[in-house]
Amino acid sequence: MQIKKLFLQNFRNYENEKFDFSEGLNVLFGKNAQGKTNCAEAVFYLCTGASLRIRHDKQLIRIGAESARIIAEAENRYGNVTIQADIYENKREIRVNGSKIAKNADLMGHINSVFFSPGELRLIQDGPEERRRFMNLSISQTSSAYYTALLRYNKILDQRNVLLKNHDVGMILDTLPVWDEQLCKYAAVIVKKRREFLEKLAPFAKEFHAFLTDGNEELVIAPDRKYDGDEAEIAKTLQRRLENQYEKDLRLGFTTVGPHRDDLDVAIGGVDAKAYASQGQTRTAALALKLSEVQIFKELSGEYPILVLDDVMSELDLPRRKKLVKCIAGMQTILTCTHAERVLYGAESKKIRIENGKIK
């Protein structure tokens, strides 16, 4: 999979710019606040329909302009694909090969990307929400069944939470089982897919981590161990857990168990990474997870996703930088940094200098 051209019109600090990417390593370099991350963000947006940093698309529109347009010409294993996003203040339109798509699920999978930035440290350090986000985004790109189940689950969850805030307890207790049956059905799809994903992820992560640390520390990833068996069994388990929490959920006014509260365990050298890892350990573990994600995409779809590495090099020590360059050989990479010459170590690359929203 590769992106060949990217057009940015009134997107962030770009007025009108066209990028030609090579199939290997592309280095976007320039001073701070010039538009490097903005370009990376545009790529990510066309892959996932989601922005990296914000909830409101409006901020993507260049200040003073009415709308933004981004277009990517890419190639995946089925052939050429053009994705266009038009972003307006209160809506957006996304087209795949000229046809407007009705829902975001139809965007997923045309161009897959794996994005890594220093903010990704949150994946290890922060609460479970970041790790769920990682799984949701990653699995959704290769499984529309997962993405659809997730949307439906979240919708029912919202409705269930509204119900829990009602004052008519009798009515709530009558209605809950109806919601819960639906909730468990979608939850089972989510839990099972996450488990499959983590089963694939764990050995890759261990291997990359060993490579990056010269085998000094072991990285162990494990899924939430609350559920066993197939989808029917997972649904049953969750059903029971929900019933056990009726009283608590009623008291708190929201749903306290389910995939929206699950986590995955990350341990480095036998101890919980969230609690004990140093900055450098955290960075390396996060990088190992992301590189593993790349391998999973390759395994599931037969081709590498586009790897977007935003400002990652400056955060790594020299041996790890060199190793990272080795790891990404053979896949299209868009890498941003402030000094192109410092990061490459002889690797062949296309260098693109960005200055004030323009290619120089």
Ligand X SMILES: Nc1ncnc2c1ncn2[C@@H]1O[C@H](COP(=O)(O)OP(=O)(O)OP(=O)(O)O)[C@@H](O)[C@H]1O
Q: Which positions touch ligand X (CB under 6 A)?
A: 12-13, 30, 32-38, 59, 61-63, 311, 336, 338
Residue 37 or 237 with smaller CB distance to Mg ion: 37
φ and ψ at residue 23, rounded to 5 degrees = -80, -10
Contact 278, 124 (CB under 8 A): no
Q: Least distance to ligand X from the beta carbon of 31, Å?
A: 7
Residue 205 or 334 with smaller CB distance to ligand X: 334
Contact 137, 44 (CB under 8 A): no
DSSP label of 271: E
Q: Least distance to ligand X from the beta carbon of 290, Å?
A: 18
Residue 36 or 193 with smaller CB distance to ligand X: 36
- What's the token pair of residue 342? 């410092």
- What's the token pair of residue 50? 């989601």
Q: Which does 59 bind (CB under 5 to 8 A by kind): ligand X, Mg ion, none?
A: ligand X
Q: Least distance to ligand X from the beta carbon of 221, Å?
A: 29
Q: Least distance to ligand X from the beta carbon of 25, Å?
A: 18
Q: Which are the contacts of 291, defined by CB distance < 8 A and separation ≥ 6?
A: 204, 208, 327
Residue 40 or 107 with smaller CB distance to ligand X: 40
Residue 180 or 310 with smaller CB distance to Mg ion: 310
Residue 82 or 349 with smaller CB distance to ligand X: 349
Q: Where are the beta strands (DSSP E) in 21-135?
A: 25-29, 67-76, 79-88, 92-96, 99-100, 113-116
Is 282 among the residues that bind Mg ion (CB under 5 A)? no
- What's the token pair of residue 347? 């690797």
Q: Which does 38 bind (CB under 5 to 8 A by kind): ligand X, Mg ion, none?
A: ligand X
Looking up tokens 């009798």 gives 170
Residue 117 or 239 with smaller CB distance to Mg ion: 117
The end-to-end CA distance of the chain, in Å, is: 27
Q: Which are the contacts of 122, defined by CB distance < 8 A and separation ≥ 6?
A: 130
Looking up tokens 């935003």 gives 310
Q: Where are the beta strands (DSSP E) in 107-203?
A: 113-116
Q: Least distance to ligand X from the beta carbon of 63, Å?
A: 4
Instruction: Give, as ranges, the residues between 21 and 50 that touch Mg ion (CB under 5 A).
Output: 36-37
Q: Least distance to Mg ion from the beta carbon of 29, Å?
A: 11
When CB distances to Mg ion are compared, the closest residue is 37
Is 295 among the residues that bind Mg ion (CB under 5 A)? no
Q: Which does 132 bind (CB under 5 to 8 A by kind): Mg ion, ligand X, none?
A: none
Distance CA 288, CA 86 (A): 34
Q: Where do contacts with Mg ion occur on this chain (CB under 5 A)?
A: 36-37
